[in-house]
């Protein structure tokens, strides 16, 4: 096994993870950096590898390590993995390390967390006159109570719901009929008939 044989692996990993990862090929025996792609740490080929800790780990029989944390001199945090590469005789020859800069991911995580944070209630000054909002709320509350979707409401259910909308002032608004008809999934003519019946006498909740 030679560094030239391993180099394509390091190069494609660096291309895949660029610009967020550094890929380093170490010579286990010489304890030197053999090759490096996207050098976030500023190291160069020929620099000391400082892989002394892996000498002890090699006795465990494992050849894959991580992810484990590392820190760059400028304070950026990395998540790293390392793979020991052995020759045909099973002797450790090289170590391939991938060091991923977590900065971009942590920034994105904070941004998403901020968007997912609980929001305050709707300012009443903006919505107290929005009858379409009131319409949607009443319909949503009613179908939750009944446990059925709008399209499966019975005639008695629609009459009861219309009574509630009428009492809430929704049906007294201009151009409310088309919106209510869409919300109840009925035609305008059917809505007028239901509304006429609902206004004749009160309707008890259906059993």
| Least confidently predicted of 42-51, 120-129, 146-155, 182-191 | 120-129
> Higher-confidence residue: 139 or 203?
139
Q: Is the residue at 205 inside a domain?
A: no
Both 102 and 149 in one domain: the answer is: no
Q: How many domains does the chain have?
A: 2
Both 76 and 170 in one domain: the answer is: no
pLDDT digits 0-9 by tens, 143-177: 888 888 888 899 999 999 999 998 888 888 888 88
- With vertex at residue 172, the alpha carbon angle to CA 170 and CA 173, rounded to the nearest 5 degrees, is 75
* pLDDT of 127: 44
Last residue of a domain, one of 62, 77, 108: 108
Show Cβ contacts of residue 93 under 8 Å, excluding neighbours closer than 6 positions.
1, 27, 28, 29, 85, 86, 87
Both 139 and 78 in one domain: the answer is: no
Structural domain boundaries, residue 70: 3-108
Q: Is the residue at 114 inside a domain?
A: no
pLDDT digits 0-9 by tens, 84-118: 999 888 888 999 999 999 988 888 888 888 877 66
* pLDDT of 23: 95
Both 9 and 92 in one domain: the answer is: yes
Last residue of a domain, one of 108, 136, 171: 108
């Amino acid at each position: 096994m030679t560094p030239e044989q391993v180099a394509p692996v390091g190069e494609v990993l660096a291309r895949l993870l660029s610009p967020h990862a550094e890929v380093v090929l170490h010579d286990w025996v010489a304890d030197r950096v053999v090759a490096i792609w996207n050098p976030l740490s500023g190291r160069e080929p020929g620099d000391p590898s400082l892989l002394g800790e892996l000498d002890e780990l090699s006795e465990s029989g494992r050849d894959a390590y991580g992810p484990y944390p590392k820190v760059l001199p400028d304070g950026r945090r990395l998540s790293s993995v390392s793979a020991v590469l052995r020759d045909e005789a099973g002797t450790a020859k090289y170590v391939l390390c991938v060091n991923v800069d977590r900065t971009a991911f942590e920034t994105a995580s904070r941004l998403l967390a901020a968007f997912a944070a609980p929001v305050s209630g709707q300012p009443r000054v903006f919505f107290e006159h929005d009858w379409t909002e009131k319409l949607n709320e009443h319909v949503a509350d009613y179908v939750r109570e009944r446990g059925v979707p709008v399209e499966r409401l019975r005639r008695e259910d629609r009459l009861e719901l219309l009574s509630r909308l009428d009492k809430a002032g929704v049906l007294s608004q201009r151009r409310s009929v088309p919106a209510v008809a869409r919300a109840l999934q009925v035609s305008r003519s059917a809505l007028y008939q239901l509304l006429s019946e609902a206004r004749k006498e009160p309707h008890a909740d259906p059993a």
